[in-house]
Amino acid sequence: MTEQKSPETRVALKHLYKIFGDDPEGAMEHVTQGLSKPELLDQHNHVLGLSDINIDIPDGKITVIMGLSGSGKSTLIRHLNLLIRPTAGTVEVDGENILDFGESRLRTLRQETMSMVFQKFALLPHRTVLENAAMPLAVRGFAKDDRQAEANKWLDRVGLQGQANQHPNQLSGGMQQRVGLARALTSNAPIMLMDEAFSALDPLIRTDMQNLLLELQEELHKTVVFITHDLDEALKLADKLVILKDGFIVQQGEPQKILMKPADAYVEEFITDINRARVLRVRSVMRRDADLEGVDDAVDAEATLEDVIAQSRGDSSACFKVVQDDRVVGRLDMTDLVRALVPAIPTAEEDAPRPAA
């Protein structure tokens, strides 16, 4: 069996802090001594935006950062291109601390290395769809024919054929966000930042946009950082999931592992209403190196437990060999499947949310 290599880190956040107020550096001393976000606000009139954030963002994958309103997720994504500068810590892109960049290098980073898709679309109303999509290359001085050819290519890819000469106010919200996505893709930046990009859309349109992103990602392998407050969206999109609370990380990792083993009661509360059969996959529940004698039926490692329940036709004694890439990698018994449908309950000492590396 060939061991799969872990994706390389494209962006690394190390010991990142952000404090809002008149004297953030002075307030840092209180935070490092253990003062909580409410205490810092009450005692020193400063807001703790981020506290000791450590995240390795893998290259070519979708990292989803989620949390409730006020958890710090939008503050965090704005640190990646230094729209907000940290009080302490580093932001490394391809191994370089971008806090050391001068104005010129920072501008190049924002124009060529990172693109951004906004919640409110951020389209220029007086420009056509084509002109909006071509904007990243116009800013960089590309010739009109070249930038429009590139923009037209991505407009077609996101399903906006024939809309190039329209203006934003002539489009629906979903179509406007497709323009925003085409604009980000036209830049050809390897890193794409998406801040609540689909939150303003109706549910069906939102689902279409999620599917479009996954379809494009299958081909393009961008390094995507996606902000959301919606757990269903996070579980659908994420290769890596980071959960924030009050500015610190409660838990991060592969979504399936978080579902199977929540770090504490806070994460457990987040996932309690999830349809586990629909989101858990066989690979997360199967037994590896198990006895396969007498097991003939097979299921794919990426199948959901809901798929397996349907395949078993209600037979609670059914068992399956698990196949991945034409190889048998484990065994799944229906008893293990049923056990996985019951949410894990953290132990008493795990109940209090805490910072996590």
Superfamily of domain 59-271: P-loop containing nucleotide triphosphate hydrolases (3.40.50.300)
344: pLDDT confidence band, cut at 50, 70 and 90? low
CA angle 51, 251, 23 (to 5 degrees): 5
Give the pLDDT of residue 148: 94
At 307, the pLDDT band (50, 70, 90 cuts) reads very high
pLDDT at position 202: 86
The pTM is what? 0.87
Cα–Cα distances in angstroms (integers) from residue 319 to residues 27, 311, 313, 324, 325, in the given order? 58, 11, 12, 16, 20
Confidence of residue 2 (pLDDT cuts 50, 70, 90): very low
Domain extent listing, the chain: 59-271, 279-340
Query: According to the 3-state scheme, what is the secondary structure of 206-219?
Result: HHHHHHHHHHHHHH
Q: Give the pLDDT score at 1.
A: 35
Identify the band that residue 69 occupies on the pLDDT scale cut at 50, 70 and 90: confident
Question: Which is more confident, 3 or 73?
Answer: 73
CATH of region 279-340, choose from 3.40.50.2000, 2.140.10.30, 3.30.70.600, 3.10.580.10? 3.10.580.10
Q: What pLDDT does 99 receive?
A: 96
* pLDDT score, position 355: 44
Q: Is the pLDDT of residue 50 over 70?
A: yes
Same fold flag, 59-271 and 279-340:
no
356 pLDDT exceeds 70?
no
> Does the pLDDT value for residue 225 go beyond 90?
yes
- pLDDT higher than threshold 70 for residue 6: no
Full strand arrangement of the beta sheet holding 319-324: 298-300, 319-324, 327-333
Question: What's the mean pLDDT when you consider all of the chain?
Answer: 89
pLDDT class of 346 with cuts at 50, 70, 90: low
Can you give the three-state secondary structure of 222-283, one letter per residue?
Answer: CEEEEEECCHHHHHHHCCEEEEEECCEEEEEECHHHHHHCCCCHHHHHHHCCCCHHHHCEHH
Question: Which pLDDT tens digit goes with each residue over 107-157?
Answer: 999 999 999 888 777 888 899 999 999 999 999 999 999 999 999 999 999
